[in-house]
Amino acid sequence: MSDAKSYVKKIQEQLHEKDPNQKEFLQAIDEFLPTMVPFLEKHPEFEEANLLALVSEPERLIQFRVPWQDDKGNWQVNRGYRIQFNSALGPYKGGLRFHPSVNLSILKFLAFEQIFKNSLTGLPIGGGKGGSDFDPKGKSDSEIMRFCQSFMTELARHIGPDLDVPAGDIGVGGREIGYLYGTYKRLKQYDAGVLTGKPLGFWGSKVRTEATGYGAVYFVKHLLNDLKDDFNGKKVIVSGSGNVAIYAVEKLQELGANVVTVSDSNGFIYDETGIDVSLLKEIKEVKRQRLTAYAEQKESAQYFAGQSVWDFDTSADLAFPCATQNEIDLEQAKLLVKNGVKVVSEGANMPSTLEAAEYFIENGVLYCPGKAANAGGVTVSALEMSQNSQRLQWESEEVDQKLDDIMKNIYEACRDTAKEYGEENNFVLGANIAGFEKVAKAMLAQGLV
């Protein structure tokens, strides 16, 4: 076993020993660390500085209680978190997630991935993540407002436009960001750049809502261009029906693909004529209804209750998992390969298990990992920070063009780095090494603080 392999294995073992119950974080570690071996063999100075151990520990973990009052006057309490993982390249940057599944392990995995995703954008932002186990579903606007006000009352002391700039994530959209921002402003001062994903009326960025979904499609657009191919006539399976999925569907269909599925936590829709984006937006963004409402209004749509879209046995060319972590397991990956899927682009964070991702790569699927393919959201968040600093709001066309250009740069960095290390089309290895190298050099130059 080479020195680099032994070193990586030792770091892995130490992290498994320290955090044995943090399965999502350890999954992210186990996906990332082995891909560092060829890089460390070429650059032993990073091993000598013990960079992998340093980058795998968060700079700061913040946990706090969030008391709030429901509409009946009863007091409730949730846990709030902020993981400030790495600031070598700039202020901590990453979303806030409000979902009952939120815990330290999930947020550490998300923040760890965010370090390298943010590095790949080429923009001056570090990695962080946060949120709460609060569930916005079924809550009134007033309850959500009171929760957000309580959450920000504590979080405000730990963030700032040059320190840590949160954004939205699952369960945190424009409404929640508005409530959070109003509380920050009341406690501190008017700092438009302290949160991104703001409504356009107070210095949000155009195209921010669409950015993650569009970005996942732009990544594949540049990949297909390399193959002298395009989206025309491609049949696509998409999971999810939130922001990322909706705008991935919109851009895919705009570029000529036929998207036949979307899903939510209760089941999925199959619409062989193609998903009606206008109807989907009305149901999910305006009326906040479940997908059963789509099936009721669209004759060609079939609704499959309680089932995963990844168990659906239908041929397809491309797959865009845009729901949540670990939604595709090994058996589902095998089904996708059997059904002819040639490209998987992750709009969600780590939606494929480690075994599923390895199966895709081994079987020639062009697998585009979340830390690269879904970097569009944080890209436009960072562009929102730039606009806030300039006291300007750019037009949609300008933001969209910058997003497309940055996704092209990310794709080419993944492609070229994979090729440099003898693993052509292994975009996981390419993304990990390209993302890590920039962070590692900055850490080394700054004295490993």
- Do residue 364 and residue 308 come from a single domain? yes
The first and second tokens of residue 153, run together, are: 């009352």
- Do residue 298 and residue 341 come from a single domain? yes
- Do residue 174 and residue 306 come from a single domain? no
Strands (E) across 145-227 are located at 164-167
Q: Match 């250009």 to its residue by tokens.
A: 405
* Contacts (Cβ under 8 Å, ≥6 apart) of 73: none
Domain boundary among 330, 349, 373: 373
DSSP class of residue 313?
A: -
Q: For 258, what's the count of Cα atoms within 13 Å in the CB-facing half-sphere?
A: 12
Residue 221 belongs to a domain? yes
Count the domains in the chain: 2
- Do residue 106 and residue 168 come from a single domain? yes
Q: Which of 151, 175, 129, 132 is nearest to 377 (CA)?
A: 129
Residue 110 belongs to a domain? yes
- Do residue 217 and residue 350 come from a single domain? yes
Q: Per-10-residue mean pLDDT for the chain, 449 residues long?
A: 90 97 97 97 95 97 98 98 98 98 98 98 98 96 98 98 96 95 94 94 95 98 98 98 96 98 96 96 92 95 97 98 96 98 97 97 97 97 96 97 98 98 96 98 93
Question: Can you give the pLDDT at residue 290?
Answer: 92
Domain boundary among 373, 403, 427: 373
Q: Which of 350, 347, 358, 369 is nearest to 413 (CA)?
A: 369
Question: Can you give the pLDDT at residue 1?
Answer: 58
Q: Match 């209804």 to its residue by tokens.
A: 289
CB 135 within 8 A of CB 99: yes
Question: Can you give the pLDDT at residue 392?
Answer: 95
Question: Can you give the pLDDT at residue 362?
Answer: 96
Instruction: Return the CATH number at 250.
Output: 3.40.50.720
Residue 2 belongs to a domain? no
Question: Can you give the pLDDT at residue 214?
Answer: 98
Give the 3-state secondary structure of residue 59. Answer: coil
- Do residue 135 and residue 233 come from a single domain? no
Residue 7 belongs to a domain? no
Other beta carbons less than 10 A from residue 73's beta carbon: 6
- Do residue 224 and residue 329 come from a single domain? yes
Instruction: Return the CATH number at 179.
Output: 3.40.50.10860
The kind and range of the H/E element at 344 are strand 343-345
267-271, strands of its sheet edge to edge: 261-264, 267-271, 301-305
Residue 49 belongs to a domain? no
The first and second tokens of residue 263, run together, are: 């899903």
Domain boundary among 340, 373, 406: 373
Rounded to whole angstroms, the Cα distance separating 229 from 225 reads 5
Which amino acid, one-letter code, is at 171? G
- What predicted TM-score, i.e. pTM, was given to this entire model? 0.95
Q: For 388, what's the count of Cα atoms within 13 Å in the CB-facing half-sphere?
A: 25
The first and second tokens of residue 181, run together, are: 């921002």
Residue 41 belongs to a domain? no
- Do residue 306 and residue 168 come from a single domain? no
Q: For 171, what's the count of Cα atoms within 13 Å in the CB-facing half-sphere?
A: 21
Question: Can you give the pLDDT at residue 396?
Answer: 98
- Do residue 116 and residue 235 come from a single domain? no
Residue 50 belongs to a domain? no
Helices (DSSP H) in 339-426: which residue ranges?
Answer: 354-362, 370-373, 376-390, 396-420
The kind and range of the H/E element at 245 are helix 243-254
Range of the domain at 169: 60-189
- Do residue 227 and residue 78 come from a single domain? no
CB 148 within 8 A of CB 112: no
Instruction: Using CA atoms of 155, 159, 165, 168 in order, give the dihedral in degrees to the nearest 10.
Output: 0
- Do residue 249 and residue 159 come from a single domain? no
The kind and range of the H/E element at 155 are helix 141-155
CB 257 within 8 A of CB 281: no
Q: Which residues face 269 on adjacent strands?
A: 262, 303
* Contacts (Cβ under 8 Å, ≥6 apart) of 106: 24, 25, 97, 325
Strands (E) across 52-113 are located at 60-69, 75-86, 92-98
Q: Which active-site residues does the annotation give? A: 129
Q: What is the pLDDT of residues 167-190, one digit of tens each?
A: 999 999 999 999 999 999 999 988
Residue 398 belongs to a domain? no
Strands (E) across 140-184 are located at 164-167
* CA-only gyration radius of the chain, Å: 21
* Contacts (Cβ under 8 Å, ≥6 apart) of 175: 141, 144
- Do residue 157 and residue 271 come from a single domain? no
